[in-house]
């Protein structure tokens, strides 16, 4: 992490977590344990639900036992990714960071006229499926089992659900033994819905990333549906899953084909495995779905023996149903896709699902058609597609706006020169009316952030990523530099427009308010992966060993020896190291980078303060920040590499981004041709080999 301005630039690129995958047919979501994102566990009305299926058979530690007298709950261990269900109807009181638990969910219930709370601990941020204020039902899938926080052994081997029951509420009551409460609960899925692994419900859906993205809409359109969807799934894998289910469902939907063509033998195997159930096949569509031709011909050839949900026909009428990546669903597309599948349940072989009754949703305009150009948009010839689409929509929806800038020929950050940024100038920004206008525009864009392919916003000194937590930025000295007089929006871009480029409609709705920026010292997608490689501790200063080991558990791509090698290369384990450019501390953080990526940590290495807190010269804060930063760069490298934007060794690319900045890695398509960086990516793995010797 040297002197380049690009290093500071990279903090934006790596804190942002993209919502959609860019032009990749086989992608992955960061969900510990992988597998389906749907885990319906409905229970009969008035019943209580076990927090995990078969929970009683997997209790590994009880409540306040002699060996653990302060243990306020019980532990249920079935492996990372196991679905966790709400015990009873209630309201989510907390969903997020918690001391010792990493992340937790707390639900308040009214039971027999009294307040009770149930607690679900050790989950990961990406494993939480509810937010504070949500109303939930007993048996609702609220989270996934994890190994976040203080677990033993550290890593996947320590994965478990810590479950508590509090009489009088979590904040003002007292904990009680959860076991009697479990004894009067029923199995999730016992309501006869999709929680039955044998598929006893009416409809079974086996799908890929399109079904993953439309999970919520599909459940609303087809009540009780069992969804088994996974990103990157191909048809042959779906057939094996169906064969293993031995389903007694009335309808089986095979929503597959986006990730590659399949054969007549695959279709025949699916029909056979479905038994007496009706089989629905979907066509596929999208300008970057290369399998569309072969898949759609095969589906059409089987229309006499299966029902066809003709997604290609719907997309032909509504191109805006496909997102900007050319594959996945837009906001409007998710609703339309779900409605199509619902209609297919009642269709008969020989007939495709009707395409005339698609419900209007976000991503459409009241009049449909193309969003018009506007004179308020400046430097249009230099803007990329996503930025133009967003600027046109804002100009149409908010006629009060008179100027939308964004492009300039040079800047320390790449967003403006690349044409990916829009600056929406707010008239009378220093009045209540101006602030409200800015808030309304931000709410509109936030609610449609996926449609517009937004990476992040800045408004009134707050950095707000499209996904994850933001932060309050440092004071830059003026209303413009602090973004009080304009909203800055950076999009993914997707290149410069071709002649005759279409931008689609301006979406409606979008009144959501982004979550408060409570610190961007967040985690990479693979956070707390439990990697625990031995160190040659004798060669590392004693005061560093614990923190390097903790940082090495954050993700598989950055194990402890590699972090030790990086710290050694950057500072020779010095807390007072300062570069000529002003980078400081053991990991050599620039002040601007620390303000966003740094944070104070507690004794367990967990973030314990807002972004920019702590000190880059403090060993715990600096080493853990370096680990978090490496993990976030590893995540970004993986996405860029999958999209074909860069190539090379994953570890070298991650280290290059740390040293030279992610912008340079992206611009050069791999490790930049800088002498320092070329040496850096080779020497740190050499140091890691040295530090990886097991302590004796």
Q: pLDDT tens digit string along 632-642?
A: 888 888 888 87
Residue of 121, 164, 158, 159 whose CA lies nearest to 143: 121
Q: What is the dihedral of CA 633, 634, 638, 644, to 10 degrees?
A: 50
Provide the pLDDT for residue 586.
Answer: 94
Contacts by residues 592-596 (CB-CB < 8 Å, ≥ 24 positions apart): 592/8, 592/11, 592/474, 593/1, 593/7, 593/8, 593/11, 594/625, 595/471, 595/473, 595/474, 596/11, 596/15, 596/463, 596/471, 596/473, 596/520, 596/521
115/243 Cα distance (integer angstroms): 46
* Strand partners for 279: 252
Token pair for residue 457?
Answer: 């916003």
Q: Is residue 252 within 8 Å of 260, Cβ to Cβ?
A: no
Angle (CA) 144-148-149 rounded to 5° is 140
Cα separations in angstroms, 690 against 138, 190, 405, 560, 562? 53, 55, 52, 12, 10
What's the CA gap between 259 and 289, in Å, rounded? 8
Q: Where are the alpha helices (DSSP H) in 559-647?
A: 560-571, 591-597, 619-642
Instruction: Give residue for tokens 């993953």.
Output: 212
**Distance (Å, whole) CA 147 – CA 160:** 6
pLDDT under 50 in the chain at which residues? 2-38, 192-200, 351-368, 516-533, 694-696
Cβ atoms within 10 Å, residue 582 = 12
User: What is the H or E stretch that residue 299 is in?
Assistant: helix 292-301
Strand, helix or coil at 355? coil
The answer to whether the CB of 340 falls within 8 A of the CB of 365 is no
- With vertex at residue 137, the alpha carbon angle to CA 136 and CA 140, rounded to the nearest 5 degrees, is 85
Q: State yes or no: cis peptide before 671, omega within 30 of 0.
A: no
Surface-to-core class of residue 659, CB atoms within 10 Å of its CB (0-12 exposed, 13-18 middle, 19+ buried): buried
Residue 76 dihedral angles phi and psi, to the nearest 5°:
-125, 120
Query: Taking Cα atoms as reference points, which of 77, 117, 116, 123 lies closest to residue 101?
Result: 123
Instruction: Kindly state the DSSP code that residue 127 receives in the 8-state scheme.
Output: G
Q: Which two tokens stand for residue 397?
A: 């929806």
Q: Which residues touch 211 (CB under 8 Å, ≥6 apart)? A: 205, 218, 227, 229, 255
What's the Rg (C-alpha) of the chain?
A: 26
Residues 6 or more apart in contact with residue 239 via CB below 8 angstroms: 266, 269, 270, 273
Q: Any bridge partners for residue 123, and if so which?
A: 103
Catalytic residues: 570
Phi/psi class of residue 588: alpha, beta or left (left: φ > 0; alpha: ψ in -120 to 50)? left
Nearest to 487 by CA among 429, 552, 555: 429
Q: What is the pLDDT of residue 395?
A: 93
What is the phi/psi pair of residue 114, to 5°? -120, 155
User: Of 138, 97, 121, 122, nearest to 175 (Cα)?
Assistant: 121
Q: Residue 89 has what DSSP assignment?
A: S
CA distance 58 to 76: 5
Single pTM value for the model = 0.33
Q: Which run of H or E residues covers position 273?
A: helix 264-274
Gap between the Cα atoms of 2 and 583, Å rounded: 7
pLDDT in the model for residue 479:
86
């Amino acid at each position: 992490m040297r002197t380049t301005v690009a290093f500071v630039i990279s903090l934006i690129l790596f804190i942002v977590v993209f919502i959609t995958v860019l032009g990749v047919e086989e992608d992955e979501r960061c969900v510990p344990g992988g597998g389906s994102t749907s885990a319906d566990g409905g229970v009969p009305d008035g019943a209580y639900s076990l927090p995990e299926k078969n929970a009683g058979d997997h209790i590994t530690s009880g409540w306040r036992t002699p060996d653990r007298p302060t243990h306020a709950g019980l532990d249920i261990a079935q492996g990372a990714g196991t679905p966790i269900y709400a015990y009873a109807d209630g309201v989510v009181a907390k969903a997020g960071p918690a001391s010792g638990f990493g992340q937790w969910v707390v639900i308040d219930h009214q039971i027999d006229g009294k307040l009770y709370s149930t607690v679900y601990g050790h989950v990961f941020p990406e494993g939480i499926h509810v937010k504070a204020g949500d109303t939930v039902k007993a048996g609702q899938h609220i989270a996934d089992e994890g190994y976040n926080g203080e677990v033993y052994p550290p890593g996947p081997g320590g994965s478990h659900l810590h479950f508590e029951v509090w009489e009088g509420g979590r904040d003002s009551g007292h904990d009680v033994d959860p076991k009697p409460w479990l004894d009067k609960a029923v199995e999730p899925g016992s309501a006869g819905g999709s929680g039955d692994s044998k598929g006893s419900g009416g409809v079974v859906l086996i799908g890929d990333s399109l079904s993953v993205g439309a999970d919520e809409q599909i459940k609303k359109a087809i009540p009780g549906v069992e969804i088994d969807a996974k990103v990157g799934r191909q048809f042959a894998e779906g057939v094996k899953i169906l064969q293993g289910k031995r389903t007694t469902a009335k309808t089986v939907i095979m929503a597959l084909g986006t990730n590659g063509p399949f054969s007549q033998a695959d279709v025949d195997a699916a029909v056979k495995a479905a038994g007496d159930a009706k089989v629905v096949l979907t066509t596929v569509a999208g300008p970057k779905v290369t399998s569309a031709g072969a898949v759609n011909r095969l589906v059409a050839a089987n229309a006499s023996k299966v029902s066809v949900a003709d997604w290609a026909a719907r997309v032909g009428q509504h191109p805006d149903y496909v997102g900007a990546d050319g594959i996945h669903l837009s906001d409007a597309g998710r609703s339309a896709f779900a409605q199509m599948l619902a209609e297919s349940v009642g269709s008969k072989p020989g007939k495709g699902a009707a395409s005339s009754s698609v419900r209007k949703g976000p991503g459409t305009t009241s009049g449909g058609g193309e969003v018009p150009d506007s004179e308020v948009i400046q430097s249009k010839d230099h803007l990329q597609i996503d930025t133009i689409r967003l600027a046109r929509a804002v100009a149409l929806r908010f006629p009060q706006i008179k100027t939308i800038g964004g492009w300039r020929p040079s800047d320390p950050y790449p967003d403006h020169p690349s044409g990916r940024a829009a600056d929406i100038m707010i008239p009378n920004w220093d009045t209540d009316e101006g602030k409200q206008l800015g808030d309304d525009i931000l709410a509109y864009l936030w609610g449609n952030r996926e449609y517009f392919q937004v990476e992040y916003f800045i408004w009134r000194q707050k950095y707000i990523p499209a996904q994850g937590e933001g932060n309050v930025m440092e004071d830059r000295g003026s209303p413009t530099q602090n973004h009080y007089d304009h909203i800055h929006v950076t999009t993914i871009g997707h290149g410069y427009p071709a002649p005759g480029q279409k931008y689609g409609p301006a979406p409606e709705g979008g009144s959501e308010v982004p979550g408060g920026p409570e610190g961007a010292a967040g985690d990479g997608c693979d956070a707390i992966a439990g990697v625990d490689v031995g160190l040659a501790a004798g060669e590392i200063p004693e005061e560093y060993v614990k923190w390097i080991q903790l940082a090495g558990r954050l993700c598989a791509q950055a194990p402890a020896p590699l972090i030790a090698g990086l710290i050694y290369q950057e500072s020779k384990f010095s807390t007072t190291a300062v570069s000529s450019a002003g980078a400081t501390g053991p990991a050599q953080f620039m002040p601007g980078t620390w303000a966003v990526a740094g944070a104070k940590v507690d004794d367990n290495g967990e973030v314990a303060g807002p972004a920019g807190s702590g000190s880059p010269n403090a060993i715990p804060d600096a080493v853990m920040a370096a680990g978090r930063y490496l993990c976030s760069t590893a995540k970004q490298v993986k996405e860029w590499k999958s999209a074909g934007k860069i190539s090379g060794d994953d570890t070298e690319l991650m280290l290059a981004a740390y040293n030279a900045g992610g912008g340079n890695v992206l611009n050069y398509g791999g490790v930049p041709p800088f002498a320092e960086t070329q040496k850096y990516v080779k020497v740190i793995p050499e140091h890691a080999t040295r530090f990886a010797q097991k302590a004796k």
